[in-house]
A and B are shown apart, each in its own frame.
Chain A
Amino acid sequence: GQNIDQPTEMTATEGAIVQINCTYQTSGFNGLFWYQQHAGEAPTFLSYNVLDGLEEKGRFSSFLSRSKGYSYLLLKELQMKDSASYLCAVKDSNYQLIWGAGTKLIIKP
């Protein structure tokens, strides 16, 4: 079966750095996405990785290792507004998005 694993919840301090990991086992691979979702709102796109390596976009970076079936989202200089759920999703061989359950990130002052 297809499976995406990410931690249920993480806590970090304002101004710090946090890394959210995601491991996947899917039938085929056509890219990995990270989305941010605030409570009661729809997800918003953060990043897309299809090749191995690090993609940096401002305070957020995303890393992919296809051979390991592994990705992480790195958030720097954490702000209170970064408190949200972070969803990892993989497109399989049918271009279907397979979603992880999301990681709830709690930022403390």
Chain B
Amino acid sequence: GAVVSQHPSWVICKSGTSVKIECRSLDFQATTMFWYRQFPKQSLMLMATSNEGSKATYEQGVEKDKFLINHASLTLSTLTVTSAHPEDSSFYICSTRSVAGEAYEQYFGPGTRLTVT
């Protein structure tokens, strides 16, 4: 299967600061990347879908000005949590699907655990 990396794997930041999370597809071109958030003991919640070269599509209830997504190339998407607050503490996971894989599985990155103090 495809390889997706995320950086950093965990981060602790102070309230009010911004944090950038990178998601890279290492062995294929990802026209579409998905950003999920998962709170403890809950399932994945899709935050937004990013398409290379265009604006991301955000799910209802997700603030686009707070969670900035940039998908500048076919191998890199970034999620920036701006003015982070303790309630933003969560497990953030990116996922991609290959150019040829409409029906294929999504490949997940290892996740980034964000703790806001």
Contacts of B93 in A (CB 8 A): 42-43
Interface range on chain A (Cβ under 8 Å from partner)? 20 to 34
Contact of A45 among B1, B43, B109, B113 (CB under 8 A): B1
Shortest CB distance A44–B (Å): 7
A7 within 8 A of B: no
Q: Is the CB of B103 within 8 A of A43?
A: no
Interface range on chain B (Cβ under 8 Å from partner)? 10 to 19
Interface of A toward B, CB cutoff 8 Å: 30-31, 33, 40-45, 48, 50, 87, 91, 95-97, 99-102
A40–B111 alpha-carbon span in the complex (Å): 8
Shortest CB distance A49–B (Å): 11
Contacts of B110 in A (CB 8 A): 41-42
B6's nearest neighbour on chain A, judged by CB, is A42
